[in-house]
Amino acid sequence: MATESANGVSSPELNERDVVITTNDNRNFTVKIGVARVSKTINNMIQDLGESLDLSSGIPLPNVDGPIFEKVLEWCEEHKNAPEIKVEQDPHTRERKWFTMTEWEEEYFRKFLSHLWDLAMAANYLEIPSLYYYTCQKLAERIKGRTPEQIREMFGIEDDLTEEEKAEIRRTNVWCTY
Amino acid sequence: MEDMQNDSVDISFNSSELSCLRLETPKSSQEDLANSHKRKSSSTADSHDYKRKFTSVTLSPIDDDIFDIPQEEESIASSSEDTSPISLHRETSVKLNEWLDTFKVMSSSQQYDALNELISTCSLPHIRFMRAVIEPLLRRDFISLLPKEISLYILSFLSPSDLSNAAQICHYWKKLAEDTKLWKQKCQNLGLKEMFPPSFRRYGGWESSPLPTVVMDLSTESTSIAKLNKAPLPNSCYCRCKYKALYLRHTRVMSNWKNRRFTATCQLRGHDEHCLHKMVKLFAQEQRTELFVFGVLIRVNYFIVYMVTRAQCDAWLCTKIFGHTSLTSGMQLLDNILVSANADSTIKVWDISTGHCIHTLDGHDSAVTSLQFIHGSFICDLVKLPSSGAGGCVWRLKATPTMLVCAVGSRYGTEDTKLILLECDAPYP
């Protein structure tokens, strides 16, 4: 968390103040600065503006729409005091470990399952590492361990490969399944 | 294990379908009103149609909360219409609109309650119908829709075999699944930078040697000697994506080690023991190049850790380690971890900074005379001698990333003195 003061007010006090954030569909959200700061993008804006920050005129977010930002805010509210997320390695396989989620987070993703990719886009733009990593993992979970047919069926993907091409891919990828 | 995971994924997906009843369907609700006839005729909805609808709607930001649920009710309504005449249908659709309006003005918690009520009054065919309508809406090829950077990050969670499946889905997925960045990151996770060169054996080294190449007597599997091309060239995978080749080769060599799958074995006979000791010792000295060396003196049942500074030829006592009941004849050090092989047929793992024993590894029938780290993990149960320990023993072990050399001898002549070479190298993918 940033400790330097913006707008001439020390950080803890500032965190309690409200800031207006405007999404690209012109919806205004009044958010506590402490919550908004979970997003590094917004945090940077607040810091860069510093003295000139006018809390009431609002911060524009041209790449996020209202319904999604609402969901993101829910995440920020829960994670405003959460420590920075760490990417860990499994000491045995040396592969990146899959994150373990709290019950709240599981529930959150269950609730917004159909918006996962909007969330991933928003989290990427807003630089919220926890939300970004977890959403991506949730999406990966849906691909994991499924056959190409199941995945195509699941996401309604058109099969544009010929049988020969598929055989070729299988042949060149034999080592992957080793 | 794998299966269990799959199951749990399925379960979560199913439960998500339930929540999606509430959450997802919104966006096409308007169109659905118009389409309800059409759908009646082909009620197993055309997934493609839905997908298109879906994407087009998401681009224009609609406040979902307003349209959040009606679709579902509507779909039930239209399912019940299936039997009713068309004139009646008009009438009901007016009522339906009123009903929807009432629904829209409810608070969101009321809406959920209403939905719960609605679902509980539904019969099984209704539920099935809702499922058929709603399910296609969830089908979104997010990998193609998301920016490449994010898609790659999602794919980076997957194992190589999942990626190989992903490559078979369509052209775009195929391109992504072999992206350099994706595999480079996997290599970085493993700390891989460069592909180690093919071993001497790969170049046909032992083949031309006059010494007989003998298949080892391993109780687990009979090892066949792989047929090798001389001077192996990188294969197509290397040309397509270097990092993928690097990663796959590494994992394959590691898996050869772990599963005791030797690509070639060889016994070199005709040495005397003195010769063996010397060779192996020379090998050992090369590795001691760091400034600080921990020297360990072996006593009957304990050893002393000395810290030696090369520069001043200084040595001072660090700690004494107790615990073994017999003679320690082999040990290896990795950072603070010391592993010792003891004649009491155990291997112990120590933390030399504290002097505590972290693990005791047993399972050997007889004295453990030698051990060797490889990639920070252990090799186990690789060599089984015909004399199975009765006098015969492995004096020394040395390993490179792809090969293990064992110096074997015996005290009572039950085992020939020889070097056993075990090769775990894999070809270039």
Residue A37: inside a domain, yes or no? Answer: yes
| pLDDT at position A68 over 50 | yes
Give CA–CA dist B156/A133, Å, rounded. Answer: 11
Residue A80: inside a domain, yes or no? Answer: yes
**Beta carbons of A159 and B169 less than 8 Å apart:** yes
pLDDT of residue A32: 86
| pLDDT at position B312 over 60 | no
Which pair of structure tokens corresponds to residue B394?
């492995």
Q: How confident is the model at residue B211 (pLDDT cuts 50, 70, 90)?
A: very low
Lowest mean pLDDT among A58-72, B104-118, B158-172, B193-207: B193-207
pLDDT of residue B160: 85
Task: Count up the domains in chain A and report the number.
Answer: 1
* Bigger pLDDT: B226 vs A151: A151
pLDDT in tens, B103-127: 888 887 888 888 888 888 888 888 8
pLDDT in tens, B10-42: 333 333 333 333 433 344 444 444 444 444 444
Give CA–CA dist B295/B299, Å, rounded. Answer: 13
**Beta carbons of B170 and A152 less than 8 Å apart:** yes
Lowest mean pLDDT among B92-96, B197-201, B388-392: B388-392
B165 chain-A contacts, CB cut-off 8 A: 146-148, 151
Of B138, B157, B191, the CB nearest to A137: B157
For an interface test with B, the pick among A128, A176, A177, A178 (most B C-beta atoms closer than 10 Å) comes out as A176
Which pair of structure tokens corresponds to residue B306?
């000395």
Lowest mean pLDDT among B71-80, B239-248, B351-360, B394-403: B71-80
Q: Is A6 helix (H, G, I), strand (E, B) or coil?
A: strand
pLDDT of residue B44: 40
Distance from CA of B315 to the nearest CA of A (A): 33
Give the pairing of strands A18-23 and A59-61.
parallel
Q: What percent of chain A has pLDDT over 70?
A: 85
| pLDDT at position B201 over 50 | yes
Of A115, A144, A178, the CB nearest to B9: A144
Lowest mean pLDDT among A102-116, B69-83, B183-197, B253-267: B69-83
| pLDDT at position A101 over 70 | yes
**Beta carbons of A173 and B158 less than 8 Å apart:** no
Q: Is A57 helix (H, G, I), strand (E, B) or coil?
A: coil
**Beta carbons of B163 and A176 less than 8 Å apart:** yes
Q: What is the mean pLDDT of residues B294-307?
A: 48
Residue A5: inside a domain, yes or no? Answer: no
Taking the CA atoms of B58, B62, B66 and B71 in sequence, report the sign of the dihedral they define: negative
Residue A6: inside a domain, yes or no? Answer: no
The residue segments making up the domain with residue A95 are 12-144
Q: How many CB atoms lie within 10 A of CB A145?
A: 19
For an interface test with B, the pick among A157, A158, A168, A171 (most B C-beta atoms closer than 10 Å) comes out as A157
- What residue of B is the nearest CA neighbor of A157? B141
| pLDDT at position B247 over 70 | yes
Residue A162: inside a domain, yes or no? Answer: no
Interhelix angle A129-143/B2-23, rounded to 10 degrees, is 110
pLDDT of residue B198: 66
- What residue of B is the nearest CA neighbor of A27? B63
Residue A156: inside a domain, yes or no? Answer: no
Q: What is the mean pLDDT of residues B420-428?
A: 72
CA distances from B217 to B365, B384, B385, B409 (A): 18, 7, 7, 16
Instruction: Tally A–B CB contacts below 8 A.
Output: 167
**Beta carbons of A169 and B240 less than 8 Å apart:** no
- What residue of A is the nearest CA neighbor of B192? A94
Which pair of structure tokens corresponds to residue A83?
């420590």
ipTM of this complex > 0.85? no
Residue A102: inside a domain, yes or no? Answer: yes
Of A114, A144, A152, the CB nearest to B20: A114
* Bigger pLDDT: B16 vs B234: B234
pLDDT of residue B146: 83
Residue A151: inside a domain, yes or no? Answer: no
Matching residue, tokens 């959450």? B23
For an interface test with A, the pick among B4, B57, B66, B142 (most A C-beta atoms closer than 10 Å) comes out as B142
pLDDT of residue A66: 85
pLDDT of residue B424: 73
φ, ψ for residue A96, nearest 5 deg: -65, 135
Of B162, B186, B248, the CB nearest to A144: B162
Lowest mean pLDDT among A3-17, A124-138, B41-55: B41-55
| pLDDT at position A77 over 60 | yes
Q: What is the mean pLDDT of residues B49-71?
A: 39
Q: What is the mean pLDDT of residues B260-283?
A: 55
CB B69 within 8 A of CB B106: no
Taking the CA atoms of B24, B26, B28 and B29 in sequence, report the sign of the dihedral they define: positive
Which pair of structure tokens corresponds to residue A85?
């997320």
CATH code for the domain of A117: 3.30.710.10
**Beta carbons of A172 and B236 less than 8 Å apart:** yes
B398 Cβ contact partners less than 8 Å away, ≥ 6 residues apart: B280, B283, B284, B372, B404, B405
B164 Cβ contact partners less than 8 Å away, ≥ 6 residues apart: A169, A170, A173, A176, A177, B177
Task: Return the C-alpha torsion angle A92, A98, A102, A107, nearest 10.
Answer: -150
**3-state SS track over chain B:** CHHHHHHHHHHHHHHHHHHHHHHCHHHHHHHHHHHHHHHHHCCCCCHHHHHHHHHHHHHCCCCHHHHCCHHHHHHHHHHHHCCCCHHHHHHHHHHHHHHHHHHHHCCHHHHHHHHHHHHHHCCHHHHHHHHHHHHHHHCCCHHHHCCHHHHHHHHCCCCHHHHHHHHCCCHHHHHHHCCHHHHHHHHHHHCCCCCCCCCCCCCCCCCCCCCCCCCCCCCCCCCCCCCCCCCCCCCHHHHHCHHHHHHHHHHHHHHHHHCCCCCEEEEEECCCHHHHHHHHHHHHHHCCCCCEEEEEEECCCEEEEEEEECCCCEEEEEEEEECCCCCEEEEEEECCEEEEEECCCCEEEEECCCCEEEEEECCCCCCCCCCCEECCEECCCCCCCCCCCCCEEEEEEEECCCEEEEEEEECCCCCCCEEEEEECCCCCC
Q: What is the mean pLDDT of residues B92-111?
A: 83
B55 chain-A contacts, CB cut-off 8 A: none
Matching residue, tokens 């391993």? B218
pLDDT in tens, B131-164: 777 766 666 677 887 888 888 888 888 888 888 8
Report the range out of A53-57, A68-72, B296-300 with the highest average pLDDT. Answer: A68-72
DSSP state of A18: E
